[in-house]
Amino acid sequence: MSARPAEKLAIAVAQINSTVGDIAGNVEKAKRARAAAAAQGADLVVFPELFIAGYPPEDLVLKPAFQIACRSAVETLARETASAGPALLLGTPWLDSGKLYNAVALLDGGAVTALRYKVDLPNYGVFDEKRVFVPGPMPGPVNFRGVRLGVPICEDIWGTEIVECLAETGAELLVVPNGSPYWRQKGDVRLNIAVARVTEQGLPTVYVNQVGGQDELVFDGVSFGLHADCSLAFQLAAFQETIVTTHWVRRNATWRCENGPVVASVEADRADYTACMLGLRDYVNKNGFPGVVLGLSGGIDSALCAVMAVDALGAERVRCIMLPYKFTSQESLDDAAACAKTLGVRYETLPIASAVEGFETALTPVFSGTPRDVTEENLQARARGTILMAISNKFNLMVVTTGNKSEMSVGYATLYGDMNGGFNPIKDLYKTEVFRLARLRNGWKPEGAKGPDGSVIPENIITRPPTAELRENQKDEDSLPAYAVLDPILERLVEREEPISAIVDAGFDRDTVMRVERMINIAEYKRRQAAPGVKVTLKNFGRDRRYPITNRFRDPGTPMPAPDVSLITGKPAKSEAFDF
C-alpha cells in the first residue's frame, strides 16, 4: 500500500552568506541554520548553490583535496540529520565516477538520500562553470516525505527543457538553489524567468538565493516563492542573511504558501550603494584585515569611498590620510577634514613634498634637459601610492582604491599611484553615478550601515568641479570630455558594445566617440593591473570583460558592409543562415 501524500510542508529558506573555501565555517553555519529552522518547525532547510564550497569556487574546486573535504563535510552534516529536526537540501561539488558535478544533496535520516546534478552550466559573463564541472543528466524529482520535489539548480530554470522534464516526471513543487549575483535590474530578470517556468508548467516554486560578497561579485539574496498562478508567495530581504520558514499546504492538487512574508526589495541607486558597501565589508572581513586605509583628497571619489568604508566596517576600522602637495588647494584640505570629522575616522595629514622632490632629485641625471610633463604629475600620485602602501604594510590595513569606472575606462589614473590598493568599492560606478550616490547617501542610510545618519559628504565636495590637483588650476575636463557626455558614450561602448557608427547616429559627436574608443583600447594594460572591485553594472572590468592587451583592432567609425558569405561557402549568400 503506497504512502499517503503529504498535505503540509514547512520549507526553511536559508539565505546565508557562505565563504569560498571555508568548508568548516560553512558547515557550522549550516548547523546553526538547521537549529534555527528546527525551532521554526521546518521539515526541510534549503541552502544556496554550492553552499559547502562557497560560490563561485572557480579552479579551487578542481583540487582533489578540496573535493574530498567538501564530500566529508556533506557526510558529516548527513549524520547530523539522524537526530530529530529538519532535513537539509545542500549545494556542494560532488565527484561521481571521475566526473565533477555542481550538485545538490538531500540529507535526511542520517544519510545522503538523493543527489541531483546541475544540467545547464552557464559559460558567459561572470560564469565559466563548463571549465570546472560536467553537466548532469536530465533530472527527475526527489521524493521527500511524500512530496515529489523538483530541484533544478540556478541556470537550470533559465531554459524550458529541464523544468519541463521535471514536470513530466511528476514533480509537484520546484525548489531552486541559486548563486545568482547582483547587477542592476537582475531581480526583475530572475522573477520574470521564474514566472515563465511557472506559467509553462504550473509548478509552484521556491527560489533560494545566496547573499554576500565574493571578490568582485555581490549576491543580493531576495529569495522568493511563486504559487502556481504566478502570484508572489513570499519574498525575503535584499543584502541580508536570514532564515525564514515558509509553510506550504496542498490545496486542490497544488501547493500554496500560507502567510508568507513579503519584504520590499531595494531598488536602483539604493541597491547599488548597498551592494558596494556589502562587497567591501565581505572582502575586508573574509580576507582577515583588521581595517582599511585610504587617501582622502577632498574629492568626490575618495569621500564616497570613505563613507562606504565607514558604513561597511565602522569608523574605528577606517583610517584616512590627506597627502597634500603644493597644488593641493585649501578648499580640498578643508573639505577632506570636514568629511573625516563627520565620519569620526582617524585622520592624519602627511605632506608629500619631500617625497616628490626626492624622486625628482634622483631622476635629475636622466631627466636633465627634458621639459616637465605628465611624468612629474604622476610622481605625485606614485608618492601617495607608496605612502599608503607603507601604512598598509606597517599596520596590516588594506588600501581602499578610489578610482571610478569613467577613469578606469579611459586610463585617467596612474599605475602604481592612485591605482594602488587591495579593493575598490566604486570601480563599476561611472563618475556621474558617484555624484548621484553621494547625494543619495546624504539623505538616506542603508539597512545595516555603521556610519552616521544625515549628511556625511560636505556639499562643496559634491558641487565643485572634479580635479586631480596634479598641476595648477587643473580640472578633469581639461583632459576628458565632460562626464555628462563621456559616461553615456562609455556605457554604450563598454556595456552594450555598440559600434561607433550607432553611437554617432544616436546624436554623439563622431570625433569625441572615436577619441573615447581609442582611450578605452589603449588603457587595457592598466585595467589588467587594477584592484578588484564590486560589480554593479551589466558588464564590469574584470570577470565580465576579458579583452587582449595586445590588440590592433579599431572600429573605423563607419557602418560596416554586410559579410559576403559567398566567399566562404562558394554559394550565393543567404544571410539568414549565418549569425555573425
- Active-site residues: which are they? 49, 118, 154
Please give the Cα distance from 189 to 196 (Å, whole number). Answer: 11
Please name which of 92, 118, 121 lies closest in space to residue 105, comparing C-alpha atoms.
92
Phi, psi dihedral angles at 3 (to 5 degrees): -70, 145
Angle formed by the axes of helices 510-522 and 483-490, nearest 10°: 70
Please name which of 132, 111, 108 lies closest in space to residue 55, comparing C-alpha atoms.
132
Please name which of 286, 267, 283 lies closest in space to residue 424, comparing C-alpha atoms.
283
Sign of the alpha-carbon torsion through 291, 296, 301, 306: positive
* 56 preceded by a cis bond (ω within 30 of 0): yes
Please give the Cα distance from 511 to 504 (Å, whole number). Answer: 9
Q: Listing from the earlier edge strand, what are the strands of the sheet with 173-178? A: 142-144, 147-150, 173-178, 205-209, 224-226, 232-235
Half-sphere exposure of 35 (CA within 13 A, CB side): 6
All cell numbers assigned to 362: 634622483
Phi, psi dihedral angles at 226 (to 5 degrees): -125, 140
Residues paired with 208 in a beta bridge = 177
Question: CA-based angle 469:454:446, to the nearest 5?
Answer: 95
With b for 16 or more beta-carbon neighbours within 10 A and e for fewer, the 188-198 pattern comes to: eebbebbebbb
With b for 16 or more beta-carbon neighbours within 10 A and e for fewer, the 342-374 pattern comes to: bbebebeeeebeebbeebeeeeeeeeeeeeeee
Residues paired with 251 in a beta bridge = 254
Residue type at 450?
A: K
In 81-160, alpha helices (H): none
Q: Yes or no: say if 326 and 387 are a contact pair by the CB < 8 Å rule.
A: no
Per this entry, what is the length of the chain? Answer: 580
Question: CA-based angle 104:109:110, to the nearest 5?
Answer: 80
